[in-house]
Amino acid sequence: MKPMERYRGQPLPPAPRIALVVNDALGNFAIATPLARAMKRLHPECTLDYYGGTRTAELEAASVGSGRLYDWRCDALGASPAAVLDAARQRMERNGAYHLVLNLEASEFHRVLAAVLGEEGFVCGPCLTPDGRGLWEYPDDERGDLWRDRNWASNDLAERYSFLETGFIAEVFLRLAYVPPLPGAEWPGGVPKYLLPAAEPPVSTPPVLISTGATLPEKTWPVERWAELLRDLPQPCGLLGAPPKRQERFYHSAGSEERLVSEGLVQDLRGRLTLPEVVGAISKADLIVTVDNGILHFAAAFDRPTVGLYRREVVRLWAPPNPNLVALSSEMGVAEIPTAEVRAAVADLLPSVRQAAD
């Protein structure tokens, strides 16, 4: 039995078996796809398995299959730990041990899972020590220094690490996995663009789509400002989100969204579309206005005109290089971004708004 090793860019065997471990937030699913695309490009015969969770299960399932991004998926979050570990064991018994485990998450369970998956191979990212007694130290190199760095959001990150060009989160994960800039990649730093499964929505969706929910309350924008903005828009708007009960549990916006719906300011699309259908609607939208969440990343996959509302301290790390993204922030927080500033950004991106203003 081969002992588990820290990955430092060592060669992998032909047709390697690779596991990618990711949080099941929509944005995390998106930012993992450049790394997945890189693995498929560097190792065309690889088997790439995805350990995600129930919140992104629809996207994961639609990305599995012959010629698609992943070869197999598993709920690592939203299922019992025993069931997850059992599924992983069964997968390895059928296919063989993983040659490389790429873990992008630092939770205790993800560290355990990485150790289980990588027990006979290489592991990149947070992991228990091979004897299970503690947290495994990162490599003694510049990549290891970045893993240990607690300030990825700093504006000078790319200046402090010689292998970074932009410091965008997807580039960070590529470099931490010892993937060099890929020639011909669509985004700066040799980063492949997001690859998301899209499906045609079963209902007609408006040309302007908004998303108000976020996993952290400090990422949200007040409902009064949303209402002010929506009253000024000359065309119908659609509200994207999970079903209201799920939205309330995970995304801190269900109450304010009900007000927008009850006032007739939006077409309520929450829970009416599968996640691939949400991606499909976004791919054809004229404009997306959203807080910093997965919807913003979906829009970046298609370079759609987007106004994104950010906490200032994370813009550099989390704003994708969509050339049509206007990223707004305020030193006082997302809640203090003025409606007039958002309205002006919308007018710059959407010709019909400019015409109405004129």
Q: Is the confidence at residue 193, as pLDDT, over 50?
A: yes
Closest residue by Cα to residue 21 from 52, 63, 65, 57: 52
DSSP code at position 74: E
Q: What is the mean pLDDT of the chain?
A: 93
The pLDDT of residue 52: 98
Q: Note the pLDDT tens digit of each residue in 146-186.
A: 999 999 999 999 999 999 999 999 999 999 999 999 999 99
Q: Which CATH superfamily is domain 5-176 in?
A: Glycogen Phosphorylase B; (3.40.50.2000)
Closest residue by Cα to residue 203 from 262, 300, 298, 268: 268
Q: What is the mean pLDDT of residues 61-65?
A: 97
Q: Is the confidence at residue 356, as pLDDT, over 50?
A: no
The pLDDT of residue 246: 62
Q: What is the mean pLDDT of residues 313-342?
A: 95
The pLDDT of residue 254: 53
| Of 114-128, 180-194, 211-225, 309-323, the least confident | 211-225
Is the Cβ–Cβ distance between 98 and 17 less than 8 Å?
A: yes
The pLDDT of residue 358: 44
The pLDDT of residue 233: 86
Q: Note the pLDDT tens digit of each residue in 243-265.
A: 766 656 655 555 678 889 999 99
Say which residue the tokens 């990162």 belong to.
Answer: 138
Q: Is the confidence at residue 214, as pLDDT, over 90?
A: no
| Of 125-129, 255-259, 343-347, the least confident | 255-259
**Taking phi first (over 0 means left), then psi (-120 to 50 degrees means alpha), and beta for anything else, what does residue 78 get?**
left
Is the Cβ–Cβ distance between 251 and 223 less than 8 Å?
A: no
Residues of the chain with CATH 3.40.50.2000: 5-176, 208-357
Q: What is the mean pLDDT of residues 200-223?
A: 92
The pLDDT of residue 196: 98
Q: What is the mean pLDDT of residues 56-62?
A: 97
Closest residue by Cα to residue 49 from 58, 41, 39, 307: 39
CATH class belonging to 208-357: alpha beta
Is the Cβ–Cβ distance between 50 and 72 less than 8 Å?
A: yes
The pLDDT of residue 245: 65
**Taking phi first (over 0 means left), then psi (-120 to 50 degrees means alpha), and beta for anything else, what does residue 96 get?**
left
The pLDDT of residue 350: 86
Residue type, 332: M
Is the Cβ–Cβ distance between 19 and 163 less than 8 Å?
A: no
Whole-angstrom Cα distance, residue 35 to residue 162?
19
The pLDDT of residue 253: 57
Six-digit token pair at 59?
A: 């996207």
Over pLDDT 70: what percentage of the chain?
Answer: 94
Q: What is the mean pLDDT of residues 236-247?
A: 80
